[in-house]
Structure 1
Amino acid sequence: MAFNLRWRWSKVVVFLLCLLPALELALRAWNQSRGVEPDLGVNPLEHITRATGDWTLRFLLITLAITPLRKLLQRPALIHFRRMAGLFAFFYGSLHFTTYLWFDKAFAWSEILPDVAKRRFIAVGFTAFVLMLPLAITSTGGWIRRLGGKRWQWLHRLVYFSALAGVIHYWWLVKSDIRKPAIYAGILAALLVYRMVVWVLPSQQHHAGARKLATAETVE
């Protein structure tokens, strides 16, 4: 009983922490309308776009980092926060995408489609968001049962491609100061290397074991 209560409260606390960036943006927008600081600065559209884009990438990387951290820190309970982190990545990605569609282009598809085709950083950013859609839709336990565990896992590996597309989107967006996208790229690279090691080593051990068994059988 005490564990369940503590677990529920921990989820509430983490949820509120994940929501803080959106609440801060809402407060800044409210202050902007009243002429009070802190506001959204001289370019509110750019501020919202950058902030929502940053948090989308951060939550994607947090989602990818949970499994390695769970194993390295020996904290299996961390896995219960992975779905929440992934959904918040989609939430901030939706805000980022909506900011572009609504505030920047006013849903003028005659401008949006040529813009996507002409500017490669927008095209790859659009790809990153589209890849998150099936992940958000199928994040429930019901979808895991419908798809089956293996197919669900294969589908959700799209998160790696979404994160990679997000990093490329940010890298191509900035013109001179690439420090922040470089940091994101470094974190993503480290996470991908970790996953590759985890995937490759068991396979190599399995093949090595099979070779030893075959050799032993031949000797006999």
Structure 2
Amino acid sequence: MGRLDDGHGNGGRGKKTDYKGCQIGAAAATQACTRDATQRVNTSAAAPRPYVSAPWQEPTCTDRDLSIMIRNLKIAVFLLCLLPLARLVWLAPSAVNPVEFITHSTGTWALVGLLVTLSVSPLRQFTSRNELLKFRRMLGLFAFFYACLHFTTWFALDHFFDVGAMWHDVVKRPFITVGFSAFVLLIPLAVTSNDAMVRKLKRNWARLHKLVYPISILVVVHYWWLVKRDITEPAIYGLVLALLLLWRLDRWQKRRNASGPQSKHGRATAPTTP
């Protein structure tokens, strides 16, 4: 059979040219579609997508939200630490012996502040919330604040600023000797609690602040020797302190055992703190 004529005497050659044109056009259209799809994918990948947590996941928060939450919690803790002072101002005038009431209350809250400060590290480990460390400095300074009130009450209202009488009590009465020693040791810890001193002292800052352990022991002994009959309350504080120190001793022992194999192979190990 003869080839079909396209009306121009080409006998089918025009059809072949049309096929090539269709092929070229299809290829160009495919490339254009691919290019448009790639642009859409890139655009959707570049555009930020809001994160929607699944129902079984905990809601996430940004660093800004976390900083705002910590700031609000610090304000709440600050006000909470002032409650013992407000209670003191409210109840002292009606107490039978106001001086004794103020002295006892301020000393007790100084000890409670020390124990709460020492509790921050165990709570951080048990809860895996490193944000708790941001409250430790403030809690320690409040413990020192109540210790200052305790000492000032004893020095001003008991001895009327008589240095000789005060020193006589410090030398002659063992429980005052222990308590006065604890207060004196607290002073460098409070003075060096700011960021500038942390940068200046470097590793010596951590060594200095280990004094909080013997200070806490001295405060408990001071309270124990002060009480003459019922030792229930100082015994409770002593038990809490013993648990906190045992936890630190256990952690220090575990770190030492973990660093043992490395030291046997000649590797330098970083010093650990209890």
Check if 1:47 corresponds to 2:101: yes
- Select 1:153's aligned residue among 197, 206, 225: 206
| 1:1-220 aligned within 5 A | 1-29=64-92, 32=93, 39=94, 41-148=95-202, 150-211=203-264
Unaligned runs of 5+ in 2: 1-63, 267-274
Deviations 1:120-142 (A, max 9, x none): 00010001111110000000010
TM-superposed CA distance for 1:26, in Å, is: 1.4
Q: Secondary structure at the match of 1:128?
A: helix
Q: Secondary structure at the match of 1:157?
A: helix
Q: Which has the larger radius of gyration?
A: 2
Residue identity matched to 1:8: R
Tell me, in whole angstroms, the C-alpha distance in 1 between the residues paired with 2:102 and 2:249: 35
Task: Identify if the C-alpha distance between structure 1 residues 43 and 73 changes in structure 2 by more than 3 Å, giving closer, same or farther.
Answer: same
Moved more, 94-103 or 70-79: 70-79
Q: Which has the higher helix share?
A: 1
Residue identity matched to 2:155: L
Count of matched residue pairs: 203
TM-superposed CA distance for 1:44, in Å, is: 0.8
Tell me, in whole angstroms, the C-alpha distance in 1 between the residues paired with 2:135 and 2:67: 15
In structure 1, what is the equivalent of residue 55 of structure 2?
none
Q: TM-score, normalised by structure 1?
A: 0.89
Deviations 1:90-125 (A, max 9, x none): 000000000000011101112111111000000100
Tell me, in whole angstroms, the C-alpha distance in 1 between the residues paired with 2:191 and 2:71: 23
Deviations 1:50-83 (A, max 9, x none): 1101100000011111001110121211111100
Deviations 1:177-209 (A, max 9, x none): 000110111111111111111111111222145
Higher relative contact order (CA 8 A, sep 6+): 1
Residue identity matched to 1:108: D
Q: Secondary structure at the match of 2:193?
A: coil
Tell me, in whole angstroms, the C-alpha distance in 2 between the residues paired with 1:172 and 1:74: 38
Tell me, in whole angstroms, the C-alpha distance in 2 between the residues paired with 1:5 and 1:209: 42
Q: Secondary structure at the match of 2:82?
A: helix
TM-superposed CA distance for 1:154, in Å, is: 0.5
Tell me, in whole angstroms, the C-alpha distance in 2 between the residues paired with 1:141 and 1:209: 33
CA RMSD of aligned residues (A): 1.3
Deviations 1:9-34 (A, max 9, x none): 111000000011011111224xx2xx
**Between the two proteins, what is the percent identity of the paired residues?**
47
Q: Secondary structure at the match of 1:106?
A: coil
Tell me, in whole angstroms, the C-alpha distance in 1 between the residues paired with 2:185 and 2:262: 38
